[in-house]
């Protein structure tokens, strides 16, 4: 069995150690902590060469900002701003999907929907601009609420959100060079204020490059955080970065180019979200799903769901 020092080194922490100072949402015992101190083996992750799911030119693919898996199928948050925006529930097919749309609670064009998440039969859609917070929707679309952030410590929060299974709190970060994941209590199911829980914030310790253009992120069951790095720079690749949610340190990263069919010269494709979800399609199984949006200039946007296969899903 690893020593505590050896285990923390796997999670990126070396040097003097304090249980309270250096661990976020610390497990109740050293034994449980060591259970999370496994190598995520990011250098062995492989993006499957074909999309697990591709849909072109549908109402729900236009300005799709993120996708998540819930009880009744896939959920896609969109920003068409022409009467088609909102939250879509989809039953995937081979090339198309049966869908149901829930119109947004907030006025068209006043907010930006970000990459959503699911937690205990609710879908959380982050919102920015006129309102900062989340649009919380029951998975069967029978109830919803708008929860406005009580405090916003950074200017461009809520490009994404996810609930940390370690404590049940909802987290987000700012889009540009985030230094922290900010915690909120999103348990309310009626319109109101979403309290900050700043003592549960998670400090990020950057690797190279520092995270930027963060349009999506998600927690895993083994206390990791998967995060999109989507900077449009000739000198940088789009990346999926893997952090420890216990130490906040970068554990590894892989390139994932957002360059599928960039046929409109004035726009670039974007990595919009990342989710932990096992998908079997085209005879293969992948464990992490990344949404690439093909921003089309003369038709509705195209939707590519890229699957990443990992050597041992239990390590996620």
From the list 65, 140, 68, the residue with the least C-alpha distance to 100 is 140
According to the model, what pLDDT value does residue 41 have? Answer: 93
According to the model, what pLDDT value does residue 234 have? Answer: 62
Count CB neighbours of 18 within 10 A.
Answer: 7
Residue 292 · residue 272 · CB < 8 Å: yes
Which H/E stretch holds residue 32?
helix 30-35
The tens place of each residue's pLDDT in the chain, 316 residues long, gives 578 888 888 888 888 888 888 899 988 888 999 989 988 899 999 999 999 988 888 889 999 999 999 877 899 999 988 889 999 999 866 556 788 999 998 887 889 999 999 999 999 999 999 999 999 999 999 999 999 999 999 989 999 999 999 999 999 999 999 999 999 999 999 999 999 999 999 999 999 999 999 999 999 999 999 999 998 766 678 999 999 999 999 999 999 988 877 666 667 889 999 999 999 988 899 999 999 998 876 678 899 999 999 999 988 9
From the list 205, 251, 236, the residue with the least C-alpha distance to 7 is 251
Give the integer Cα–Cα distance in Å for 44 and 83.
43
According to the model, what pLDDT value does residue 235 have? Answer: 66
According to the model, what pLDDT value does residue 96 have? Answer: 66
Give the integer Cα–Cα distance in Å for 26 and 30.
9
Q: Give Cα separations from 99 to 58, 73, 120, 271 (angstroms).
A: 11, 10, 21, 22
Buried b or exposed e, range 136-170, using 16+ CB within 10 angstroms = bbbbeeeebbbbebeebebeebbbbbbbbebeebb
Q: Give Cα separations from 115 to 37, 216, 299 (angstroms).
A: 28, 6, 22
Whole-model pTM above 0.85?
yes
């Amino acid at each position: 069995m690893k020593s505590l020092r050896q285990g923390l080194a796997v999670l990126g922490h070396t040097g003097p150690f304090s249980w309270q100072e250096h661990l976020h949402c610390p497990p109740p015992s050293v034994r449980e902590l060591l259970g999370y101190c496994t190598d995520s083996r990011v250098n062995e992750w492989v993006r499957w060469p074909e999309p697990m799911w591709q849909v072109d030119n549908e109402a729900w693919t236009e300005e799709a900002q993120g996708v998540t898996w819930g009880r009744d199928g896939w959920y896609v948050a969109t920003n068409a701003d022409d009467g088609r925006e909102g939250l879509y529930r989809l039953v995937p097919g081979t090339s198309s999907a049966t869908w149901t749309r829930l119109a947004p609670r907030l006025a068209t064009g006043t907010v930006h929907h970000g990459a959503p998440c699911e937690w205990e039969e609710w879908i959380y859609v982050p919102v920015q601009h006129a309102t900062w917070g989340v649009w919380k929707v029951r998975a069967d679309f029978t109830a919803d609420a708008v929860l406005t952030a009580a405090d916003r410590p950074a200017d461009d929060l809520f490009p994404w959100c996810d609930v940390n299974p370690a404590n049940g709190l909802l987290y987000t970060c700012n889009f540009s060079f985030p230094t922290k994941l900010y915690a909120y209590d999103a348990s309310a199911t009626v319109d109101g204020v979403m309290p900050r829980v700043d003592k549960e914030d998670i400090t990020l310790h950057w690797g190279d490059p520092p995270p930027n253009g963060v349009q999506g992120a998600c927690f895993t069951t083994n206390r990791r955080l998967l995060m999109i790095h989507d900077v449009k720079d000739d000198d940088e690749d789009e990346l999926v970065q893997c952090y420890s949610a216990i130490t906040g340190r970068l554990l590894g990263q892989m390139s994932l180019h957002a360059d599928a069919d960039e046929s409109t010269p004035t726009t670039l494709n974007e990595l919009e979200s990342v989710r932990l979800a096992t998908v079997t399609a085209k005879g293969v199984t992948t464990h992490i799903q990344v949404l690439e949006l093909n921003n089309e200039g003369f038709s509705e946007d195209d939707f590519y769901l890229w699957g990443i296969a990992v050597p041992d899903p239990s390590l996620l």
